[in-house]
Amino acid sequence: MSLHFTKMHGIGNDFVVLDCRARPFALSAGQIARMADRHVGIGFDQLLTVEPARDTSCLFYYGIYNADGSISGQCGNGVRCVAAWLRRAGALGAGAARLESPSGPVGVELLDDGRVRVDMGEPCFDPARIPLALPAAETYATVIDGEHIEFGAVSMGNPHAVIEAADVTAAPLVAFGATLSTSALFPQSCNVGVVQIVDRAQVRLRVRERGVGETLACGTGACAAVAVLRRRGRLDERVAVDLPGGRLQIHWHGPGHTLWMTGPAEFVYEGTWNE
């Protein structure tokens, strides 16, 4: 098997993009995991496929597969890379367009400065739809390794737990991230973010993604952190989110409105995968 691929990243969250517009995607979870291995494979956080749209209101569909081969419902940094890839391929012009994600249609806008603006939809706090096996609340609590942990929960097309920390650098994300991510509280597991408020217009964030581990950036994680904290009245409607890999701009007016994310999408190299 020989596959041409494009390596891309969105502020360090890295991807392999496959053109599946003419050839159906047919990799197994094991093949994806081997390709994702950073020692003997290409190495990536997620695999993205560009396919014909199922929804006739959308131009193209994109699939999202985590490094362990599992399927993801949404990827904020990934959709920006898909949009940039389509533009370079001559399949997407400047301005606004509509793409189809595994979680439904997504609006994208290609900006003159090379960044991509994405309509990530309205944050969903309904436990049944996250899904979260707890009654609805603004703040939830659990015990991890004997420590009381409070978190917010939201879906941005995929489930997120958001924990506020005084110092995001020192927060024990590795220690409790895996435990909370795979807790029975989250039937489909979840991404776990620790967030530090700098002021009402800036936060710092680290995220452990399900099926991947800690990443340099997580677009849906940035959206989730802002949504949870803004719902608590802690942030303004325009917020800069600083992740280890770089900065994203998040704009959310509040409940009843969709949330917008803006950030870069970078090409790294082209290659061929042989297995």
Side-chain half-sphere exposure of 167, counting CA atoms within 13 A: 3
**Which of 20, 81, 190, 218 is labelled catalytic?**
218
**pLDDT recorded at residue 77:** 97
pLDDT at 71: 94
- The pLDDT assigned to 176 comes to 87
Helix/strand/coil for 193: strand
DSSP 128: T
Residue from 58, 75, 81, 223 carrying the catalytic annotation: 75
Fold of 140-255: Diaminopimelate Epimerase; Chain A, domain 1 (3.10.310)
Rounded CA separation 259/50 (Å): 24
Q: How far apart are CA 229 and CA 204, in angstroms?
A: 12
What distance separates the 2 farthest-apart alpha carbons in the chain? 54
Domains 2-120+264-274 and 140-255 equal at CATH topology level: yes
Q: How far apart are CA 94 and CA 173, in angstroms?
A: 39
Identify whether the C-beta of residue 64 lies closer than 8 Å to the C-beta of residue 58: no
Alpha carbon dihedral 223, 67, 97, 3, in 10-degree steps, equals 170
For the 2-120+264-274 domain, the top CATH level (class) is alpha beta
CB 248 within 8 A of CB 120: no
Query: Per residue of the chain (275 residues), what is the pLDDT tens digit?
Result: 789 999 999 999 999 999 999 999 999 999 999 999 999 999 999 999 999 999 999 999 999 999 999 999 999 999 999 999 999 999 998 889 999 999 999 999 999 999 999 999 999 999 999 999 999 999 999 999 889 999 999 999 999 999 999 999 999 898 889 999 999 999 999 999 999 999 999 999 999 999 999 999 999 999 999 999 999 999 999 999 999 999 999 999 999 999 999 999 999 999 999 97
The owner of tokens 């990536």 is 44
Give backbone dihedrals phi and psi of 87, rounded to 5 degrees, phi first.
Answer: -65, -45
Is residue 58 among the annotated active site residues?
no
Structural domain spans, the chain? 2-120+264-274, 140-255
51 within 8 A of 20, measured Cβ to Cβ: yes
DSSP character for 124?
A: B
32 Cβ contact partners less than 8 Å away, ≥ 6 residues apart: 47, 65, 67, 68, 69
